[in-house]
Homo-oligomer: A and B are copies of this chain.
Amino acid sequence: MHRYKNISAPVIKRLPRYYRFLGELRDKGVIRISSRELSDKMGFTASQIRQDLNCFGGFGQQGYGYPVESLYNEIGHILGLDHTYNAILIGAGNLGKAVAMHMSFEKRGFRLTAIFDNDPKKIGTVIRDISVSDLDDLEQFCSENKTDAAIFCVPKNAAHSIADRLYRVGVKNFWNFSHYDLSVHYDDIIVENVHLNDSLMILCYKISDANDIPDDTTA
């Protein structure tokens, strides 16, 4: 097995969407689908779909289309969902708790192995079968338990020092919910950001842009 290098970021970002739509089709019992049909459903062009999929191999058959089930599985494999990466969650506040409760990690290639917080009131409470640990025990835990990734749900001012500690014990993959740009400070880490504030501001921009009636420039 070899992985696919030099796949462009736009293509990678579209993969989960393919996965989602193909999963729906599979659940509906659809056996095959053409790039044109998929294009109608997903809002991409058929050409783009063919080109995207072709980055990873020729999954389709001319005159027939793509077999839904096996393409779904292929994309899952390309995404690496058949791995089981151990992830720890840092920060058991509202957001951290929600992420822990809400996500189906197992279906996305991960397993949640520990949750850390520095608030004595939270330490010892149980979230999804996991007892919240003291943040002071972070290094020890990571040295005793293989830890592939950290889910970062901490406030901005705490982010830097905790990121440092994780980096030093070799945790270099982050799912980052904090308003802090990890990637600016280290160059050999992998970060996937979820910047909720940014997203909300973009919505604000779009609404403002749409609501505003363009001025009559001659007025």
Proximity string of chain A (179-197) to chain B, C-beta cutoff 8 Å, 1 when within and 0 when not: 1010110000010111111
What number of copies of this chain does the assembly contain?
A: 2
Is A95 interfacial (CB-CB < 8 Å)? yes
Q: Which residues of B contact A28 (CB under 8 A)?
A: none
Does the CB pair A101–B108 fall under 8 Å? no
Does the CB pair A2–B215 fall under 8 Å? yes
- Shortest CB distance A194–B (Å): 5
Does the CB pair B209–A3 fall under 8 Å? yes
Is A17 interfacial (CB-CB < 8 Å)? yes
Q: Which residues of B contact A1 (CB under 8 A)?
A: 212, 215
- Where chain A touches its partner, the secondary structure class is helix
Is A203 interfacial (CB-CB < 8 Å)? yes
Q: Which of B41, B94, B109, B181 contacts A102 (CB 8 A)?
A: B94
Best-surrounded residue of A97, A183, A202, A210 (most CB of chain B within 10 A): A202
A179's closest neighbor in chain B, by CB? Answer: B20
A residues contacting B by CB (< 8 A) are 1-5, 7, 12-13, 15-17, 19-20, 41-43, 78-81, 83, 85, 93-95, 97-99, 101-105, 108-110, 148-149, 173, 175, 179, 181, 183-184, 190, 192-210, 212, 214-215, 217
Interchain Cβ contacts under 8 Å between A and B, 15 examples = A1-B215, A5-B209, A12-B205, A12-B206, A15-B201, A43-B181, A43-B183, A81-B201, A102-B196, A103-B200, A108-B197, A149-B203, A173-B203, A175-B200, A192-B206
New A-B pairs, 20, CB < 8 Å, besides A16-B198, A80-B204, A85-B204:
A2-B215, A4-B209, A7-B209, A12-B205, A13-B198, A13-B202, A16-B195, A17-B181, A41-B184, A43-B181, A78-B205, A79-B202, A79-B204, A80-B205, A80-B209, A83-B204, A94-B101, A103-B197, A108-B200, A108-B201
